[in-house]
Chains A and B, each alone.
Chain A
């Protein structure tokens, strides 16, 4: 039975080892903020952090997670703080979400980008964030990422 560190806690996964991390998070731990969109790693709705890097969890079998630390949207903001993560707050301030289904994955992808590149250019944002949003919130996503980056810089 795989034991995986999720959101800072070691968790046993009774699921079959070939189960994608996506489904184990959702069904074993009830962490449903991570979404199923395509099952082939194309859309990014299932994006989580593995040791801080954005990964598409529908493509990661439990047996391959190993000792990496998994963070999901539910724990992106530090638990003790009431505040949201700067990217989440920027998403509200710029009023990005419409249906909202893709946004947890989008936010996880952006948070990972800002962690390695705190002040990405617009071209970098457009090139690096490859998640699909069917509602077409892209124009506000660019604005929100820039806002989040500016806020990080200021703080």
Chain B
């Protein structure tokens, strides 16, 4: 079902394209024609995304899902900038599944991997500039003046004998042929891009009128509550279904993947009926699983599972390469080094815990299948719907609502399938399946737990000459039955450990290996995916090397980053913000400061933290972050993504840990999975560093960096190095 999930590898975007076996999309390079192709729907329709009404009102269907990251706004700004319209007159609509809306960088319509703005950037600029050219041409014809004599300002076409608005000529313009050569604005002329006006979705979001997946409603609809087994593949007997079906308001019961659904006229009635049903589990892939057995399984893999090497996974390096000479060189460097440093780290499973619990609506009727919900992957949801119902794709309509948080969880389609199965039990009626918070925790697709063993060689001056890191843990790709990406055969699952040792560091010999661990715990993509663990592993270990060398942690890093001016810049900025003064590490005497960074293609994030440690008590005094994503389309949202991403990562660093006992996760609600509240969040300062005319990924950038920054600060304060997250295992926080 999920085997067509696109891979999530932190490669260059070009690399991702090739990794999933497609070429560069025509949308990206072929000018605006693909998006502007006449649809015949309306005379003022400029392709499936853009229409202009006679009064100048502009409607833009933005193809990405909005889960808080702000890409609805960012993508709309990109079109509006090139179109030259009055951005205040643009209404933004949420999308439906449509091949025309595919992200050119993935050739699928999905919102994940921080690739919406980067993937759609060129295509949407082409759409805007192409439509502008058509409008100007129509005005020139109307006014009988040369096109060159006209220009565009805020939706007005000026320079002719009279000023025409976009609305005046939209109908004529939409009939014209699409210009072949788009004339893009120079970035220095941007005003909508880079502007600081509030996002268009904020009014609805503060008024309570924004429609999230859980708000989908229509007369005569049904609500499905679930009874779920401890694992999607568990087998069970359901007890009490017949009695539940007789309870007030209950319409019917239905088997769904991994459980049963109770359909009723109201949530509360469905929920109460569901609580009367018991599942006797006969077999479960995680029967008997506990924290202890999980940890033992991961640690055992270091000895029992032969390691597979990772390719060099650095932004910009594609196709991935295996350096077969790396291993002997690394081993030799380690063997002959005057000094070796070893350390082992581990991180637990993490939950997504989106504020909107998992939910999805569906209706099966004579027209086909309708799916309406908070979906990160409309393309895959549509395919899942077609497969489950046997309908052709064109009979499956998928409509995307606002997402009350996604963070990767709503990229899964397990809940979409369940919603469709529930709807199949009530043909003709819309059925909204609503998971409880308890089910949202219990049946999450967790960020997998991982353990790492790293060893480095230092030369006589304390410079690292080789780093060898081995990681063990469950493969997300394996859980979702995915074949290796083309070009990755014989290499370790890139979803487990891209950049476990940063390629940006100029260390002569590096090797990363994977001991694939079969655990069958449901796992999936969690904001920043591999970096969510690997930034902690990589940047903690480098910090330990600085300690071993007795060198200032910032200076130690900078010395290995001579060829990385943008990484140096964010590190130096974050350090300045926290008031960094060079000295020997670990000498903080209760007051420590730590620094760390991570990076992707055209995105660089550094975080510095200051902490006070007194015995078991830890206080985070301040957090400062410097971020360079090239061109920030919506800088205020970008800054919010960095500070919000830090809070998201702070939760994981301090408290995030899913426990397992007796074959199931034990977290039931927020009381068992602590979230930061206002009182817990220290001052966070963010600085954006402009880095050019091309946007970079934003949404996942800061989340993985806060854990190593904090743990490095704790060590700098003179406390013992944290090698296992969450920090609450060691400190009272």
Contacts and interface: CB of A to CB of B under 8 A. Distances in A.
A30 B645 CA distance: 33
Interface string A90-108: 0111011111111110010
Given A32-B208, A35-B404, A125-B678, 6 more contacts: A15-B268, A37-B357, A73-B207, A100-B205, A100-B210, A136-B646
A97 B669 CA distance: 23
A92 B198 contact: yes
Contact of A100 (B201, B248, B641, B683): B201
Interface string A48-64: 00000000000000000
B265 to A, nearest CB: 9
15 contacts: A33-B207, A36-B434, A42-B669, A45-B355, A73-B208, A92-B202, A92-B203, A97-B199, A97-B202, A99-B354, A103-B205, A134-B354, A135-B68, A139-B683, A142-B678
B409 to A, nearest CB: 11
A141 interface: yes
Given A36-B214, A97-B205, A97-B206, A135 B268 contact: no
Interface string A11-23: 0000110111001
Given A42-B670, A45-B355, A101-B405, A107 B67 contact: no
A40 B266 contact: no
Nearest to A97: B205
A93 B202 CA distance: 10
Interface centre among A20, A35, A141 (most CB of B within 10 A): A35
A117 interface: no
9 closest pairs, A vs B, by CB?
A33-B208, A136-B647, A99-B68, A101-B404, A100-B205, A98-B68, A73-B208, A136-B644, A32-B215
B472 to A, nearest CB: 29
Contacts of A139: 643, 647, 681, 683-684
Interface of B: 66-70, 198-199, 201-212, 214-215, 217, 223, 248, 266-269, 353-357, 402-407, 434, 436-438, 636-637, 640-641, 643-648, 650, 669-671, 675-679, 681, 683-684
Contacts of A95: 198-199, 202, 636-637, 640
Interface residues of A, number: 58
A51 to B, nearest CB: 20
Contacts of B437: 37-40
Contacts of A38: 437, 669-670
A97 B640 CA distance: 9
A130 B636 CA distance: 25
B436 A72 contact: no
Nearest to B354: A134
Contacts of A98: 68-70, 640-641, 644
Nearest to B675: A132
B205 A36 contact: no
A107 B353 CA distance: 21
B676 A138 contact: yes
A88 B640 CA distance: 18
A74 to B, nearest CB: 5
Given A95-B640, A132-B675, A133-B355, A74 B68 contact: no
A38 B637 CA distance: 27
B270 to A, nearest CB: 10
Contacts of B201: 97, 100
Given A95-B202, A134-B405, A74 B207 contact: yes
A33 to B, nearest CB: 2
A151 interface: no
Contact of A33 (B209, B266, B267, B670): B209
A129 interface: yes
A17 to B, nearest CB: 11
A99 B404 contact: yes
Interface centre among B676, B679, B684 (most CB of A within 10 A): B679
B643 A136 contact: yes
Contacts of A125: 678
Contacts of A152: none
A101 B294 CA distance: 34
Contacts of B212: 35, 101
Given A40-B671, A74-B207, A15 B640 contact: no
A20 B68 contact: no
Contacts of B640: 95, 98, 137, 140
B678 A130 contact: yes
Contacts of B406: 99
Contact of B206 (A23, A27, A91, A140): A91
A132 B681 CA distance: 12
A20 B201 CA distance: 29
B656 to A, nearest CB: 12
A10 to B, nearest CB: 21
Given A36-B357, A139-B643, A27 B266 contact: yes
A63 to B, nearest CB: 13
A119 to B, nearest CB: 17
